[in-house]
Amino acid sequence: CRLFAPQELCPPVLREIYATIQGTIDAKFNADQEDIAQFTVVNSFLFLRLIVPAILSPTIFQLMPNFPPEWTSRTLTLVGKSVQNLANFSYFPAKDSYMKPVNGLISDNIDGIKGFYSSLAKAGGSNSDRNGPEVWLERNLSLVHEWMRLHHQDLRSKVDISDDLYKRIMQACHIVLVS
């Protein structure tokens, strides 16, 4: 089971931020490689602020078009708790007996998450990585384009936007997306 994507999939700007913060922490506190506290920075930024919220609220991150049904939300909550515990190197306590089976998965992947954190913090973003931001721009423009296409009536009722301006925005997004 492979839980950790290659650090290259993380945007270069985020890798650079993690590397800078981790370097500052290491210099200030002389972090030991075995000290779990050294991973807290990447954990806090990546898992606590990005990954787990995306699992818990997929509609906010535009991973799903609508709010999931209640039973799916409950499953996503359990997955989010499991991922967060793995990210924190913590096991489920006895009071969460229904989650105890996940402790084996956490235990089996502690070294993997440490390696993942280390690779992110050491990778940083290089200048060659910065030659590809249009990939992120294209994704963001495609999201804007799709949102405007789906909600154009609502948008027009709330914002004074002429037909001409609306068409020009949509055409600009389309040109960038197909080029």
For residue 130, the model assigns a pLDDT of 46
Taking the C-alpha atoms of residue 167 and residue 24, their distance in angstroms, rounded to an integer, is: 48
- Go through 120-134 and write b for each residue having 16 or more CB atoms within 10 A of its CB, e for each that does not: bbebbbeeebeeeee
CB contact at 8 A, 39 and 117: yes
Taking the C-alpha atoms of residue 153 and residue 33, their distance in angstroms, rounded to an integer, is: 55
| SS3 per residue for 23-89 | HHHHHHHCCCCCCHHHHHHHHHHHHHHHHHHHHHCCCCCCCCCCCCCHHHHHHHHHHHHHHHHHHHC
| Phi and psi based region of residue 62 (left: phi greater than 0; alpha: psi -120 to 50; beta: remaining) | left
Averaged pLDDT score across all residues of the chain: 75
Highest mean pLDDT among 6-10, 32-36, 45-49, 50-54: 50-54
pTM for the structure as a whole: 0.62
For residue 44, the model assigns a pLDDT of 78
For residue 9, the model assigns a pLDDT of 67
Q: How far is CA 95 from the centre of its chain?
A: 29
Task: Categorize the per-residue pLDDT at 102 as very low, low, confident or very high, splitting at 50, 70 and 90.
Answer: very high
Taking the C-alpha atoms of residue 22 and residue 166, their distance in angstroms, rounded to an integer, is: 44
In percent, the amount of the chain with pLDDT more than 70 equals 66
Lowest mean pLDDT among 72-76, 105-109, 164-168: 164-168
Tokens of 153: 């009536």
> Does residue 91 surpass a pLDDT of 90?
yes
Query: How many Å from the N-terminal Cα to the C-terminal Cα in the chain?
Result: 37
